[in-house]
Every structure is written in C-alpha cells, then in structure tokens.
C-alpha cells in the first residue's frame, strides 16, 4: 500500500488507503488472532452506514497511524502482531506453513 512520509519521519496512512485495503479482502477471508473478520469491517464501513461507518474508519486510521509511528503499547503488541500458525501438508510431501495475521494489521 502506498504511504506518505510525514515531517516526524514515520509513514502514515490516509482514509482512502485504509478503506481500499479493507475492501481488497476477498469475501471469504478468515479472521486472525483478533477474531475480526474483514467482512465485518466491510459491512460496517459500507456507503449506507453513514456517520457511524465514518467514525469507525477514522478510528481505524488513527490506530494504524499509532502502530506505524511505533507508539502502540507493549500489552497490545501480541494481539495485533500475532498470528495463527497452521501447517498444511504439500501434495508431494513436506509442510507448507501458513500464518493468518490480524485483520487490523493487514488493513494498515
């Protein structure tokens, strides 16, 4: 996702970027460790939701920018940067490791 460098020397995301990222998830996307399915965010940010959806989007942008600035509290980090780990068998042997991370982190 394209980001912009601001004057405090860290990247930040815009409303358009976060909205685009959320709506880029395929419909059947699963939730990660945060248990927040991307479809839930899509439904609550849709054009028919109005002011409540806009408030949610602004809150998500603020959270993303706090994370990008490195200002997230240490208690928060395992939940936002953690992932479910899954080992799938490959067709011809071996293991394919899969990790499913946080929807929020993937949206930033």
Say how many Å lie between the first and final Cα of the chain, rounded. Answer: 8
Are 34 and 79 in contact, with CB atoms under 8 Å apart? yes
What is the residue whose two structure tokens read 């939940």?
A: 79
The per-residue pLDDT string of the chain (108 residues; one tens digit each, 9 = 90 and over) reads: 444 444 567 788 999 999 999 999 998 888 888 888 999 999 999 878 888 999 999 999 999 999 988 888 888 888 888 888 999 999 999 999 998 888 888 888
18 in helix, strand or coil?
Answer: helix
68 in helix, strand or coil?
Answer: helix
Cα–Cα dist 22/40, whole Å: 10
Q: Could you tell me the pTM of the whole model?
A: 0.75
Domain-by-domain residue ranges, the chain? Answer: 4-107
């Amino acid at each position: 996702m394209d980001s912009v460098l601001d004057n405090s020397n860290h990247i930040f995301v815009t409303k358009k970027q976060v909205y685009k990222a959320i709506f880029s998830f395929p419909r059947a996307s699963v939730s990660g460790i945060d248990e927040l399915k991307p479809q839930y965010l899509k439904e609550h940010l849709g054009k028919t939701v109005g002011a409540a959806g806009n408030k949610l989007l602004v809150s998500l942008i603020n959270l993303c920018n706090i994370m990008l600035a490195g200002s997230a509290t240490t208690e928060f980090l395992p939940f936002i940067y953690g992932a479910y780990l899954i080992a799938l068998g490959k067709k011809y042997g071996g293991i394919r490791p899969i990790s499913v991370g946080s929807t929020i982190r993937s949206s930033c």
